[in-house]
Structure 1
């Protein structure tokens, strides 16, 4: 007897086409590095330090015993917030945020290891990656859920909708009177077109003449 396959987890990456997943990952990574480079370049110029790509792609500069290392740590945390904005714009699904956030940091680990020709050994670097991934995941899920739970506006206001409903009801009443289905007290034309009729109130039993 054939065994039934277990359905995939809702919101998993398997629900998206592979090419779309790859495109989104590349875009997130490129935006992340561009924003980090711009922030580190600005910070280095303000601090009077010489800029080099070692500050971006090497783990040697991210040390806990130097001012430059702590400065880079704060810049990378700020860059994580920018990463949340890019996730909100490109992904927009809260269930996919952890997958993309962890994938982004894993690719960063591979790139840094290849650039530095060794696996990072500074505890500050590893702690920063954990905090950055947590920030991007938590804020990304919250912002995407907030966007998903916002009410959908189909255009127009409640007042215009009420006005349209009242107009439609009036038109229905007019149509019924023309067909001889007058609702309430008034005049109308019979269904067979044989003249007008008038609806009058019925007298009680005690008032009968």
Structure 2
């Protein structure tokens, strides 16, 4: 029985998507840190992988979660898969943070930040994917009157 958008297991595609999303997550954090450096913030790589929650880094991570949600809408393009990819990005962030610090994060606020960041990334990514999925399918080459 065939269905619309039948799932095909493609490990190369999945690894490529995850690599792109993880890279975008850290690139967005780095870009925001560099932007904040114009206003007196000192960007350090240890801030990204810190197991201690800092107010500035919490805001930077939330901004990068919003950026990843936009990347989800372009790379994954499926609202059903946003939760999986957002959790995987943050799971790899946990692994990289643990490796960098040689210790598992124990601060409760760090874990709350990760849950909030994952939630923001998932909900906004699903919203953006649903908007793309619900767009009118053009049958002709001309512009649609419903384009945004």
2:44 aligns to what SS in structure 1?
A: coil
Partner of 1:57: 49
In structure 1, the gaps of 5 or more residues are 1-9, 63-68, 159-209
Which of the pair is proportionally richer in helix?
2
Alignment coverage as a number of residue pairs: 140
Q: TM-score, normalised by structure 1?
A: 0.62
Partner of 2:16: 23
Partners of 1:37 and 1:114 lie apart in 2 by 19
Of structures 1 and 2, the larger Rg is shown by 1
2:98 and 2:105 in contact (8 A); partners too: yes
1:40 and 1:55 in contact (8 A); partners too: no
In structure 2, the gaps of 5 or more residues are none
Partners of 1:150 and 1:51 lie apart in 2 by 40
2:57 aligns to what SS in structure 1?
A: helix
- Deviation of residue 126 (structure 1)? 0.6
2:106 aligns to what SS in structure 1?
A: coil
Partner of 1:131: 116
1:24 aligns to what SS in structure 2?
A: helix
User: Is 1:77 aligned to residue 70 of structure 2?
Assistant: no
Partners of 1:84 and 1:134 lie apart in 2 by 10
Partner of 1:142: 127
2:136 aligns to what SS in structure 1?
A: coil
2:33 and 2:41 in contact (8 A); partners too: no
Q: What does 1:161-180 correspond to in 2, within 5 Å?
A: none
Partners of 2:64 and 2:22 lie apart in 1 by 12
Q: TM-score, normalised by structure 2?
A: 0.86
- Deviation of residue 153 (structure 1)? 1.3
Query: What's the Cα RMSD here?
Result: 2.2
Partners of 2:129 and 2:102 lie apart in 1 by 37
Partner of 2:85: 100
- Deviation of residue 93 (structure 1)? 0.7
Q: RCO greater where, 1 or 2, for CA within 8 Å and sep 6 or more?
A: 2
